[in-house]
Structure 1
Amino acid sequence: VLDLVGLESKMWHFPFELSGGERQRVAIARAIVNQPDLLIADEPTGNLDPINAHEIIEIFQSINKLGTTVILTTHNKGVIDNLGRRVITLDHGRITRDDKEGRYII
């Protein structure tokens, strides 16, 4: 699992020795270690710089290709536009838009 998230060389490091992006990858690794059918990620790129955010999204895409359904919530337009996947927009708990291969529209 650490290889999948790009942290095989950090196996014996303590959390305080990891960057924010590396800690985020550890959290993802912990979430997928038992090969769940569904993974829900709430704002997984919210506190990351654009490079780390892109790497995290690539990890989720790899997980999805292995058969896990990934539900990702974000306010980051760039993340959504780059994915080109289904976009469901909610407003106060109600679905206001559902596009199969949508883009984020404000």
Structure 2
Amino acid sequence: QVLEVVGLVDKSWHFPHELSGGEKQRVAIARAIVNQPDLIVADEPTGNLDPLNTREIIEVLKKINEIGTTVLLATHNKDVVNALGKRVITIEKGKIIRDDKGGRYVI
């Protein structure tokens, strides 16, 4: 069921070396949600991915949020932030400097 959420049902018998970077990231997300947590913290989940895999990971995280898990995502990627359109809390030097419910990346 979790592999279905992250789109890896067809890869269930593959070894790690047979998976792409994006697929490995989805495996990590699957491991994080297998016990149905109330919250997952995703620290730069798309940091090392190409744009296509970045979009796929964001869609997976959105799906997880839609089924009831809160997703706290930390990123420097303004395109990811803007694509989500969710609440954005900006922290600088350990202090909250902006809390935007509209979900836009603002410097």
Shorter-chain TM band: over 0.9
Q: Does residue 97 of structure 1 match 2:98?
A: yes
Give the 3-state SS of the residue equivalent to 1:2 in structure 2.
helix
What RMSD in Å do the two structures reach over aligned CA positions?
A: 0.6
5+ residue gaps, structure 2, are none
Alignment of 1:34-53 (within 5 A): 34-53=35-54
Segments ≥4 residues shifted beyond 3 Å: none
Q: Percent identity?
A: 70
- 1:23-50 residue CA offsets vs partner (Å, 9 max, x unmatched): 0000000000000000000000000001
Contact 2:84-2:103 at 8 Å conserved across structures: no
Q: How many residues align?
A: 106
With normalisation by structure 1, the TM-score equals: 0.98
With normalisation by structure 2, the TM-score equals: 0.97
Question: In 1, distance between residues paired with 2:4 and 2:15?
Answer: 17
Question: 1:92: how far off?
Answer: 1.1
**1:19 corresponds to:** 20
Give the 3-state SS of the residue equivalent to 1:3 in structure 2.
helix
